[in-house]
Amino acid sequence: MNNIQSYIKEHKTRFINELIELLKIPSVSADSAYKNDVLKTAEAVKTSLENAGCNHVEICPTQGHPIVYGEKVIDKNLPTILVYGHYDVQPPDPINLWDSPPFEPVIKKTDLHPEGAIFARGACDDKGQMYMHVKAMEFMTTTNQLPCNVKFMIEGEEEIGSVNLATYVKANHDKLKNDVILISDTGMIANDVPSITTGLRGLSYVEVEVTGPNRDLHSGLYGGAVANPINILAKMIASLHDENNHITIPGFYDKVEELSKEERAEMAKAPFNLDAYKKALNIEAVYGETGYSTNERNSIRPTLDVNGIWGGYTGEGAKTVIASKAYAKISMRLVPNQDWEEITQLFKTHFENIAPKGVTVNVKPHHGGQGYVTPIDSIGYQAASKAYQDTFGKTPIPQRSGGSIPIVSLFEQELKSKTILMGFGLDSDAIHSPNEHFGIFNYLKGIETIPLFYKYFTELSK
């Protein structure tokens, strides 16, 4: 592509300011209190797509938050790229741990981001990475260099399991027809170690409720004589892992993809410094499944984590009470071949089975999605690899990610096309955490790399 670098240089400040404006809107999809802000964000995305040269831009209503669609079809005979992203964000809490308000973006330098990074909820996940595609589109249309057809599908429910996306996709096969799907919602190893995500973990997210006595009880009068739902919940959660941190749910591992020695050896080549990892998290030791390395534990192995727990008196001071109910939110990360609905059912059955007499258990499935692995010999992967080589001067490393983008396998199933995960964030960008940020370097590098993917994908498709 011609003069992409000069174009970015010229419009850099505007690119950053536009993203900052988008980040100011608190589009928290998990909390209905933010419903209007989510809608406001959808409208802002619609406008940005129109300004970038898209046609037929529309806000498509769903049972939940809407999907923003836009396209530019220049020639039916040319390949079509479908860009997916999401404009919703994770809840910002715990708010008090943010150094600056989550929806008042600020730019600060960090060790890993000497050129500065934008600090705000959604800066990296996914408003920042989604907006790179909008600006790349602007460049290609403004300079008449768009080499193929493009479709944008930007949703507002990714952080709550894309609950209504499947319905939309199933109802719009023709409209969404494409040759490859492009997503920037993952990370890369380092700013000088570009990587492309070739695998994702699946997810099963459930909420459990343990009920004991029909009312809160005085822990003196009843303590020791009735099942305490909190103690029982703790006991049940503890029993979900054995002494080797294997998950104890019967059948849980039956379909887990076992990697070959060679594959594991290949993975082990990815640069990783355990001391730096521990230091960054300020932990004395890592912790996980016996027999696997840290990189394997968070990518090729399934996991079970409690994401939230609550029950009884949690206020100031002391209350001597036995709570009637205790709750937990539990998520399982799944690997290829594990079916999330099957795993959810296995969990439900097991959790209900291990409940002792004296309590009742209610397991409520939240959402989930399948794991995914993409081949590195596809035209899409090759095009992405060449694009990174041009902009980073290095061949990107194929990498399995521990994260989940459930809709990737949905896309393959419904739209019969592969997804390329060109992520430009860093693990240290603190997505889902306080002080989430996205490097200016990464943001601009993304805008520079994406058009080259379009170019090479079109060429290799001939």
Assess 257 for contact with a second copy (CB under 8 A): no
Number of residues that bind a second copy (CB under 8 A): 104
454 close to 26: Cβ distance less than 8 angstroms: no
Assess 93 for contact with a second copy (CB under 8 A): yes
Specify the stretch interacting with a second copy by CB under 8 A; choose among 101-109, 257-265, 316-324, 438-446.
316-324
In the complex with a second copy, the residue whose CB is nearer, 172 or 277, is 277
Q: Which of 74, 95, 97, 265 binds a second copy (CB under 8 A)?
A: 97
Helix (H, G, I), strand (E, B) or coil at 423: coil
Q: What's the closest the beta carbon of residue 200 comes to a second copy, in angstroms?
A: 8
Helix (H, G, I), strand (E, B) or coil at 133: helix
Assess 120 for contact with a second copy (CB under 8 A): no
Q: What's the closest the beta carbon of residue 237 comes to a second copy, in angstroms?
A: 4
> What is the distance between the alpha carbons of residues 376 and 395, in angstroms, rounded to a whole number?
12
411: exposed, middle or buried (Cβ count in 10 Å: 0-12, 13-18, 19+):
buried
In the complex with a second copy, the residue whose CB is nearer, 143 or 219, is 219
> What is the distance between the alpha carbons of residues 113 and 104, in angstroms, rounded to a whole number?
19
Helix (H, G, I), strand (E, B) or coil at 150: strand
String of contacts with a second copy for each residue 125-164, x by CB under 8 A: ----------------------------------xxx---
In the complex with a second copy, the residue whose CB is nearer, 174 or 316, is 316
In the complex with a second copy, the residue whose CB is nearer, 406 or 446, is 406
In the complex with a second copy, the residue whose CB is nearer, 114 or 358, is 358
Assess 91 for contact with a second copy (CB under 8 A): yes
Q: Which of 129, 164, 303, 344 binds a second copy (CB under 8 A)?
A: 303
Structure tokens at 22: 């988008």
Q: What's the closest the beta carbon of residue 444 comes to a second copy, in angstroms?
A: 23
Phi, psi of 121 (to 5 degrees): -65, 125
Assess 294 for contact with a second copy (CB under 8 A): yes
Assess 314 for contact with a second copy (CB under 8 A): yes
- Subset of 329-358 contacting a second copy (CB under 8 A): 329, 331, 333, 356-358
Specify the stretch interacting with a second copy by CB under 8 A; choose among 100-108, 252-260, 341-349, 430-438.
430-438
Assess 361 for contact with a second copy (CB under 8 A): no
Q: What's the closest the beta carbon of residue 134 comes to a second copy, in angstroms?
A: 24
Q: Which of 366, 390, 392, 460 binds a second copy (CB under 8 A)?
A: 366
* CB half-sphere exposure, 212, CA atoms < 13 A: 23
- According to DSSP, residue 259 is labeled P
Residue at 272: amino acid letter: F
Q: What's the closest the beta carbon of residue 29 comes to a second copy, in angstroms?
A: 8
In the complex with a second copy, the residue whose CB is nearer, 271 or 317, is 317
Phi, psi of 370 (to 5 degrees): -85, 155
- Subset of 181-240 contacting a second copy (CB under 8 A): 187, 201, 203, 205, 207, 212-228, 230-231, 233-235, 237-239
> What is the distance between the alpha carbons of residues 152 and 56, in angstroms, rounded to a whole number?
11
Assess 244 for contact with a second copy (CB under 8 A): no
Sheet holding 202-211, edge to edge: 325-334, 202-211, 360-369
Beta strands 80-86; 180-183: pairing state: parallel
Q: What's the closest the beta carbon of residue 120 comes to a second copy, in angstroms?
A: 16
In the complex with a second copy, the residue whose CB is nearer, 64 or 451, is 64
Region at 98 (left for phi over 0; alpha for psi -120 to 50; beta for the rest): beta
In the complex with a second copy, the residue whose CB is nearer, 171 or 283, is 283
Q: Please write down the long-range contacts of 136-139, taking CB distance under 8 Å and 24 or more positions apart.
A: 136/446, 136/447, 136/450, 136/451, 136/454, 137/49, 137/52, 137/53, 137/54, 137/72, 138/51, 138/52, 138/53, 139/1, 139/4, 139/7, 139/8, 139/447, 139/451
Alpha-carbon dihedral of residues 280, 88, 82, 21, nearest 10 degrees? -90
Which is nearest to 429 in space by CA: 90, 55, 82? 90
> What is the distance between the alpha carbons of residues 312 and 231, in angstroms, rounded to a whole number?
11
389 close to 351: Cβ distance less than 8 angstroms: no
In the complex with a second copy, the residue whose CB is nearer, 48 or 211, is 211
Q: Which of 41, 149, 404, 442 binds a second copy (CB under 8 A)?
A: 404
Assess 403 for contact with a second copy (CB under 8 A): yes
- Subset of 18-77 contacting a second copy (CB under 8 A): 29-32
> What is the distance between the alpha carbons of residues 55 and 37, in angstroms, rounded to a whole number?
25
Q: Which of 66, 302, 398, 439 binds a second copy (CB under 8 A)?
A: 302
Assess 297 for contact with a second copy (CB under 8 A): yes
Assess 276 for contact with a second copy (CB under 8 A): no
